[in-house]
């Protein structure tokens, strides 16, 4: 019990007991991510409002949230009217009217003369009336009978009628004169049509024709009183040769009007439709209604449902990827990885929504929609995927980039160009961030994103097949500014994720590998032997980690810091002692074991004080596990008197805990291998492999790997990698000619063999010298 209590106290002192941090469950993070991202990327949901009436006063500015296509009834009506007006009026042309008139008039005159001759009188009898087939009044018939239906009068009337037909007789002269663009003549007998661009000088049927005939009969044998009656008769007989076909004209104009497609007006994104205090015109009211419909149409709820499904799928894929992430890289718990990824999604979804609102407000300050549209290219779409890649790795970052690009496209009104823009910039940022070696190169990463933005904007311009205008330069400027904003955003939020989620990024590890940092510099000055040992352990751990696919950078940096606790009492560790002097010779084995084990506790305290990342603190805490401090334990057994109580083994073990990850297990093996390799007198490859295998087998038998997920295959790969690396360290060199750096070895080779008398002496070979 005493030993057990001592172990518990020592574990608390060294920080070996697991630290339980309050954490939220994955389902909470998943639900929060789905809800926040759905409503961040969804279109604005508004409910039905009263329509804006023309003549009312606008209460606020109305700005087009995206490119809108709005029907223009006024322009459509105007174009249809123009198309109908371009249709020429159709006039039925009776080409046979003159000949028909002449025939009927001459036949009537001939019959009337015959009938009048039979009667022998100059009066109109019933026979004469019946013989004259054309409709004629009694006065006009009496006038013609008085002149005996003379052939001269007959020819005069025919000539007048044919002359009037030559220019045309129209049923409505006013309508006819209005056709300045010409008319379409349709021959009623053949159905053929031809266009007359000039309107002929026609005479109107009726009173105008009567006046013209009366004037031309002035020099005839008719009395003045008879002239008007005969003129009325002749005018009635001259039927119109040009008749307006209103039915056919209306039909053709209707067809032309229907053939005109509806006119739509494009309202560019950011255009101010109406400002507060302005009167709303009929056209403006239609545009305001279109803006409302674009953000509050009934289908917007279906869009939200679609985004909800996509984000739910993304949250599920993030979780599955976090589960399979356990055997990779940082080997953090899946819950922590998942929480870091979805929290990045939540944060940057809100950031994108806020940036979008700010861009809308900024764009409303410009009258030119092209200037306003360029502001959307400046949004830092790539910042979220880059941060996700730095805190969780390439896999989650690529998934994040895909989900973020879809959300950006939906946010911009289901715009494929913006989805492409966000995806290209995110991919460029992710791969550029993978090559980052310090925070100072964040600006260079922003340059990569800006270059990708330039390429994607150019591709969008080409895909739109529009001529390059000055607005293209504004879009490019927005993309370049977006790259700089990505750098600033990543630099601002990356430390936040490193702190709250205890994430150790490659950038942070590379910064910690700087040998001029205070801890490492102090280690090199206070404990130079331990410093050289740490450098070699880092090199060995890196090679072993690469062999099993673990994080080689974390293994190397952990090797640099694993023994920083030895700077408190460096002279009590053999690598820092002068030859021939060992302070442990004056101490009891139990006290020496406490001093040796205390460097773990001291190292943990120093690491926490320096705010080193948790994986490195864990490496310091676990790199010895609960291994037996074998040298002093054997020394205590040797000094114990026969019959005395047994030496408690637990007092000579490190406080632990055992390695919990592959990295700390690799560090344990590399630490022991580096120390043991110093004891091999003539290091050969078989000796080195046997030494490494012995150390691994001892740790395995001692249960040091029970709490990590190293497999037997991993151990075999680690042995191979360490054998190759240690063999390379102890490589052989040829002797320098003319120099003898090993006189003892030369003397031993030249001395004669011992005398035979000495063979009987029992020589004891010295035991191994404790390291």
How much is the pLDDT for 584? 83
How much is the pLDDT for 658? 92
How much is the pLDDT for 530? 92
Tokens, residue 694: 């012995």
The DSSP bridge partners found for residue 69 are 266
Query: Model-level pTM?
Result: 0.58
d(CA 79, CA 597): 94
Tell me whether residue 209 is exposed, middle or buried, using C-beta atoms within 10 angstroms of its C-beta: 0 to 12, 13 to 18, 19 or more.
buried
Residue with tokens 């751990």: 541
d(CA 408, CA 353): 9
Residue 38: closest CA among 221, 231, 301, 252: 301
Is the CB of residue 559 less than 8 Å from the CB of residue 672?
no
Tokens, residue 347: 């944060």
How much is the pLDDT for 666? 95
Cis peptide before 657 (omega within 30 of 0): yes
Is the CB of residue 133 less than 8 Å from the CB of residue 111?
yes
How much is the pLDDT for 438? 63
Instruction: Give the end-to-end CA distance of the chain in Å, rounded to a whole number.
Output: 32
How much is the pLDDT for 11? 40
The DSSP bridge partners found for residue 187 are 93
User: Which residues of the chain have a pLDDT value below 70?
Assistant: 1-24, 43-51, 65, 120-122, 173-181, 197-200, 292-301, 324-333, 360-373, 435-441, 465-470, 580, 643-644, 731-736, 738-771
pLDDT in tens, 584-612: 878 888 898 898 899 999 999 999 999 89
pLDDT in tens, 373-394: 577 788 888 888 888 888 877 7
SS (H, E, C) 74-138: HHHHHHHHHHHHCCCCEEEECCCHHHHHHHHHHHHHHHHHHHHHHHCCCCCCHHHHHHCCCCCCH
How much is the pLDDT for 758? 34
Task: Reduce the DSSP state of residue 550 to 3 states and report it.
Answer: strand
């Amino acid at each position: 019990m005493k030993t057990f209590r001592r172990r518990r106290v020592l574990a608390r002192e060294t920080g070996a007991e697991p630290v339980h941090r309050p954490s939220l469950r994955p389902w909470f993070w998943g639900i929060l991510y789905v809800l926040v991202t759905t409503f961040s990327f969804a279109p604005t949901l508004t409910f039905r409002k009263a329509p804006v009436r023309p003549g009312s006063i606008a209460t606020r500015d109305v700005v087009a949230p995206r490119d809108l296509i709005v029907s223009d009834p006024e322009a459509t009506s105007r174009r249809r009217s123009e198309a109908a007006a371009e249709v020429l009026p159709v006039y039925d042309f009776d080409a046979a009217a003159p000949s028909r008139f002449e025939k009927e008039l001459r036949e009537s005159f001939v019959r009337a003369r015959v009938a009048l001759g039979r009667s022998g009188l100059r009066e109109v009898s019933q026979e004469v009336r019946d013989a004259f087939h054309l409709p004629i009044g009694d006065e006009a018939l009496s006038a013609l009978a008085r002149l005996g239906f003379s052939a001269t009068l007959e020819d005069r009337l025919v000539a007048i009628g044919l002359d009037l037909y030559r220019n045309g007789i129209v049923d409505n002269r006013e309508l006819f004169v209005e056709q300045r663009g010409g008319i379409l003549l349709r021959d009623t007998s053949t159905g053929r049509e031809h266009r007359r661009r000039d309107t002929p000088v026609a005479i109107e049927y009726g009173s105008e024709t009567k006046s013209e005939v009366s004037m031309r009969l002035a020099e005839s044998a008719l009395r003045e009183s008879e002239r008007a009656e005969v003129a009325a008769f002749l005018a009635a007989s001259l039927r119109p040769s040009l008749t307006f076909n209103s039915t056919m004209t209306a039909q053709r104009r209707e067809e032309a009007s229907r053939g005109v497609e509806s006119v739509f007006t494009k309202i560019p994104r950011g255009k101010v439709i109406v400002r507060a205090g302005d009167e709303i015109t009929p056209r403006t009211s239609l545009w305001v209604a279109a803006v409302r419909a674009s953000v509050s149409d009934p289908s917007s709820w279906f869009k939200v449902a679609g985004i909800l499904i996509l984000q739910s799928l993304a949250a599920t894929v993030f979780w599955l990827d976090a589960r399979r992430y356990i055997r990779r890289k940082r080997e953090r718990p899946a819950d922590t990885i998942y929480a870091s990824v979805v929290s990045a999604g939540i944060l940057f979804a809100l950031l994108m929504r806020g940036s979008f609102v700010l861009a809308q407000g900024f764009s409303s300050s410009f009258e030119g929609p092209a200037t306003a549209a360029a502001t959307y290219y400046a949004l830092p779409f790539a910042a979220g995927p880059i941060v996700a890649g730095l805190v969780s790795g390439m896999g989650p970052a690529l998934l994040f980039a895909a989900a973020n690009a879809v959300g950006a496209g939906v946010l911009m009104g289901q715009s494929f160009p913006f989805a492409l823009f966000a995806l290209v910039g995110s991919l460029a940022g992710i791969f550029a961030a993978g090559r980052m070696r310090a925070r100072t190169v964040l600006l260079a990463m922003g340059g990569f994103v800006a270059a990708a933005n330039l390429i994607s904007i150019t591709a969008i311009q080409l895909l739109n097949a529009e001529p390059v205008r000055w607005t293209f330069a504004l879009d490019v400027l927005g993309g370049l500014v977006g790259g700089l904003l990505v750098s600033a955003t990543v630099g601002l939020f990356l430390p936040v994720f490193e702190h709250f989620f205890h994430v150790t990024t490659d950038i942070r590890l590379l910064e910690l590998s700087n040998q001029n940092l205070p801890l490492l510099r102090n280690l090199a000055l206070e404990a130079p032997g331990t410093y050289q040992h740490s450098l070699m352990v880092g090199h060995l751990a890196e090679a072993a980690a690469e062999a099993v696919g673990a994080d080689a950078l974390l293994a190397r940096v952990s090797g640099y810091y694993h023994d920083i606790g030895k700077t408190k009492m460096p002279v009590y560790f053999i690598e820092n002692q002068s030859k021939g002097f060992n302070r442990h010779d004056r101490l009891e084995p139990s006290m020496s074991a406490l001093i040796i084990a205390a460097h773990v506790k001291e190292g943990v305290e120093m690491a926490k004080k320096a705010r080193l990342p948790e994986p490195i603190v864990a490496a310091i805490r676990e790199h010895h596990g609960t291994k037996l401090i074998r040298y002093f334990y054997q020394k205590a057994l040797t000094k114990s008197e026969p019959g005395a109580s047994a030496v408690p083994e637990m007092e000579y073990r490190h406080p632990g805990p055992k390695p919990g990850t592959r990295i700390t297990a690799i560090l344990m093996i590399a630490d022991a291998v580096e120390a043991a390799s110093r004891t091999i007198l003539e290091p050969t490859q078989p000796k080195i492999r046997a030494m490494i295998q012995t150390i691994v087998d001892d740790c395995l038998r001692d249960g040091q790997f029970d709490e990590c997920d190293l497999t037997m295959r991993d151990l075999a790969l680690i042995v191979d990698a360490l054998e190759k690396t240690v063999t390379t360290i102890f490589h052989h060199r040829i002797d320098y000619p003319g120099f003898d750096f090993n006189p003892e070895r030369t003397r031993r080779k030249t001395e004669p063999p011992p005398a035979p008398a000495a063979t009987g002496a029992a020589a004891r070979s010295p035991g191994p010298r404790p390291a």
